[in-house]
Amino acid sequence: MDAKQILVTGASGFIGRQVCPFLTERGFRVRNFEGRVEDLSAVRAAVRGVDSIVHLAAYSDDGDFVSQLIGPNAIGVYHMFEAARIEGVRRVVLASSTQAFEGLCTRGGIRVEERCPTNHYGLLKLWAEDAGEMYSRLYGLSVIAARLGWVVRGETELERMRALPLGTRFFLGINDVKEFFLRCLLAPNDLRFAVVYAVSKQSGSEVFDMEPARRILGFEVKDELPGGLTSCR
């Protein structure tokens, strides 16, 4: 199996459009999947022959549990892990979210093992993390669950982020998000399962515990506001 062949689901989304060209420049052969993750046969066909999966496809915020969330954010995650298991994929990098612990976001010192969702979107992100741990433990998949910060698309989103209790400490710059996914793909083969935060430089004391990302992935943040912003494209 070609260790440089990867599948990116949700490649046409905002993060995918930033990360895919960057990975291609670093020598990866990127296969984009824009089909329905609810279709297991389509997911299996896309996964066949790849070494790693970067799973970005999802309904990207809270919504109606039955009509909007269950399909992409639960069934789709199940299909992705099943396809990875059946087709012998080595690693899955799973996009989780800060909404998995949103109920803690009035204080600092948030560790990777903490969880406190306040909506069904965050709850399903925790379910996806747990699914990753199970597939790693039972089937030997290497799984990295990435609790991503906010990749801001311009000044309007920046103002929305500043209004949050922890403000710009959620910020994930465009250079850091590219480097983060690269580090996930290059992490040692013996890595079984990890939950890590991905945010950029935090003003003042560190709110999100970045030590696991530094230790496990060798990820060192560089972006700090006002750097690392990107326009919506």
CA distance 129 to 203: 28
pLDDT (tens, 9 = 90+) of the chain, 233 residues, equals: 677 999 999 999 999 999 999 999 999 999 999 899 999 999 999 999 999 999 999 998 899 999 999 999 999 999 999 999 999 999 999 999 888 877 777 666 788 888 888 899 999 999 999 999 999 999 999 999 999 998 988 888 888 888 887 788 889 999 999 999 999 999 999 999 999 999 998 776 778 889 999 999 999 999 988 777 765 44
Q: Which domain holds residue 173?
A: 5-217
Write down the pLDDT at residue 165. 78
- Is residue 76 in a domain? yes
- Is residue 231 in a domain? no
- Is residue 233 in a domain? no
Number of folded domains that form the chain: 1
SS3 content of the chain, % helix, strand, coil (to 5): 45, 15, 40
| CATH number of the domain bearing residue 16 | 3.40.50.720
CA distance 208 to 219: 14
- Is residue 79 in a domain? yes
- Is residue 225 in a domain? no
- Is residue 232 in a domain? no
Distance linking the first and last C-alpha atoms of the chain: 34
- Is residue 169 in a domain? yes
- Is residue 142 in a domain? yes
Write down the pLDDT at residue 66. 97
What tokens appear for 104 in the block? 């803690």
